[in-house]
């Protein structure tokens, strides 16, 4: 506000005090913050080094079983939003641990979940009667309101990244959840049945869409994405901002696999020094292979993260990101971009330097 006399200030304050009991407040005191000239996220960039958190994640198994915890997860909380169980204003991220022989009991909820497998193999997740065995680098979907449980018939601890739209559902006050009566749901279809139908650029002739607008395949195996990106690397020029980057799709629509969260995998070739870009969708990254550096900037801050396999980092909305990699690397990421696109508010700027 402009310079105003203390007399005017006092009379305005008296007015604000008078209207406050009526649950009224003046817009002109907050307009600038409510309608900012550009995004001004309360989140900050953050990095979770896997080697620092792994002992605690594995150690949590000494404290509580997967069954008692229901989901034994350490939440990745944005340092500027502690206590809110979120990594950005709209997204949740956590690392879930399951040991051989354990079961994370069946439940369902309106929140959609993605799993990105970080470490170990042999555990399965079951969705609507079909189990999927999980391998490192696989991207797996739990559609809204589908029954799901996790179990482990293998022989090593298994860790995956849980990405959920929990904060979005909380914002809309639209969350419902219920527990199953049995810890593990009955298996009603063989493993791979959904992928056979929908996972090969083919679809049933009278294509039913079992989960509405959400993808009918709940497993996107890493080996397929790896092959695609390695071929692109041979056949195509590298993108100066992204390296080689693909988004995951719903095979029935070509759109996003999930309504609330978009997912991506990218390969940065050896010696890649990317150009900077910024986007309105704050993004969570999971490092699959290799190492590199993320330079993240806003008008008032500069951050540099050196990342290695299994590390996670978050880039808030409208922060500038530049990625480099000497040895080459692969990065999985997810954001709330499908929602931005649906609302017509997604914005991206690819900068030259």
* Cβ nearer to ligand GTQ, comparing 2 with 82: 82
Residue 87 Cβ vs ligand GTQ, minimum distance, rounded to whole Å: 11
Residue 100 Cβ vs ligand GTQ, minimum distance, rounded to whole Å: 18
* Cβ nearer to ligand GTQ, comparing 97 with 296: 97
- Residue number with the shortest CB distance to ligand GTQ? 162
Residue 106 Cβ vs ligand GTQ, minimum distance, rounded to whole Å: 9
C-alpha 97/C-alpha 105 separation (Å) is 13
C-alpha 152/C-alpha 121 separation (Å) is 9
DSSP class of 280: S
Residue 148 Cβ vs ligand GTQ, minimum distance, rounded to whole Å: 6
Calculate the CA 147 to chain-centre distance: 20
At residue 322, the 3 state secondary structure works out as: strand
Residues with Cβ within 8 Å of 200's Cβ and at least 6 positions away in sequence, in order, are: none
Residue 124 Cβ vs ligand GTQ, minimum distance, rounded to whole Å: 13
* Cβ nearer to ligand GTQ, comparing 169 with 330: 169
* Cβ nearer to ligand GTQ, comparing 40 with 110: 110
* Cβ nearer to ligand GTQ, comparing 71 with 170: 71
Residue 314 Cβ vs ligand GTQ, minimum distance, rounded to whole Å: 16
CB–CB of 324/274 below 8 Å? yes
Dihedral (C-alpha) 151, 157, 162, 166: value to the nearest 10 degrees?
70
Going by C-alpha positions, the residue among 328, 127, 114 that lies closest to residue 226 is: 328
Going by C-alpha positions, the residue among 314, 312, 313, 294 that lies closest to residue 303 is: 294
* Cβ nearer to ligand GTQ, comparing 116 with 305: 116
Residue 221 Cβ vs ligand GTQ, minimum distance, rounded to whole Å: 20
What phi, psi does 114 have (nearest 5°)?
Answer: -120, 150
Residues that bind ligand GTQ (CB under 6 A): 71, 73, 94, 96, 109, 113, 148, 162, 164
76, HSE (Cβ side, Cα atoms, 13 Å)? 30
Residue 197 Cβ vs ligand GTQ, minimum distance, rounded to whole Å: 24
* Cβ nearer to ligand GTQ, comparing 162 with 311: 162
CB–CB of 228/208 below 8 Å? no
| Residue tagged 């909820």 (tokens) | 109
* Cβ nearer to ligand GTQ, comparing 169 with 225: 169
Q: How many CB atoms lie within 10 A of CB 78?
A: 23
Residue 117 Cβ vs ligand GTQ, minimum distance, rounded to whole Å: 13
* Cβ nearer to ligand GTQ, comparing 49 with 71: 71
Q: How many CB atoms lie within 10 A of CB 155?
A: 11
Residue 287: left if φ>0, alpha if ψ -120 to 50, beta else—which one?
Answer: beta
């Amino acid at each position: 506000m402009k310079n105003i006399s203390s007399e005017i200030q006092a009379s305005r304050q008296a007015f604000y005090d008078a209207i406050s009991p009526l649950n009224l407040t003046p817009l002109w005191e907050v307009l600038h913050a409510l309608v900012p000239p550009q995004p001004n996220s309360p989140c900050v960039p953050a990095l979770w080094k896997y080697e620092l958190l792994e002992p605690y994640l594995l150690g949590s198994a000494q404290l509580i079983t997967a069954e008692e915890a229901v989901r034994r997860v350490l939440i990745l909380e944005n340092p500027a939003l502690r206590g809110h169980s979120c990594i950005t204003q709209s997204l949740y991220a956590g690392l879930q641990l399951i040991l051989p022989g354990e079961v994370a009991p069946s439940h369902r909820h309106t929140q959609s979940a993605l799993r990105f497998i970080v470490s170990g193999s042999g555990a399965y997740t079951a969705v609507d009667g079909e189990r999927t065995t999980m391998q490192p680098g696989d991207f797996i979907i739990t559609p809204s309101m589908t029954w799901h449980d996790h179990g482990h018939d293998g022989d090593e601890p298994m860790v995956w990244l849980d990405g959920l739209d929990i904060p979005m559902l909380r914002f809309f006050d639209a969350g419902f959840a219920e527990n199953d009566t049995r810890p593990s749901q009955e298996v009603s279809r063989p493993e791979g049945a959904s992928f056979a139908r929908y996972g090969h650029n083919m679809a049933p002739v009278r294509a039913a869409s079992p989960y509405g607008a959400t993808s009918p395949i709940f497993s996107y195996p890493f080996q397929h994405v790896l092959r695609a990106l390695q071929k692109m690397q041979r056949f195509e020029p590298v993108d100066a901002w992204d390296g080689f980057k693909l988004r995951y799709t719903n095979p029935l629509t070509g759109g996003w696999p999930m309504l609330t969260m978009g997912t991506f995998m990218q390969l940065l070739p050896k010696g890649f020094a990317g150009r900077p870009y910024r986007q309105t969708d704050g993004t969570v990254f999971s490092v699959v292979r290799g190492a590199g550096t993320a330079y993240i900037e806003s008008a008032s801050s500069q951050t540099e993260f050196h990342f290695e396999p299994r590390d996670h980092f978050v880039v808030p909305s409208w922060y500038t990101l530049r990625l480099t990699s000497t040895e080459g690397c692969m990065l999985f990421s997810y954001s709330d971009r499908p929602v931005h696109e649906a609302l017509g508010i997604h914005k991206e700027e690819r900068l030259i330097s």
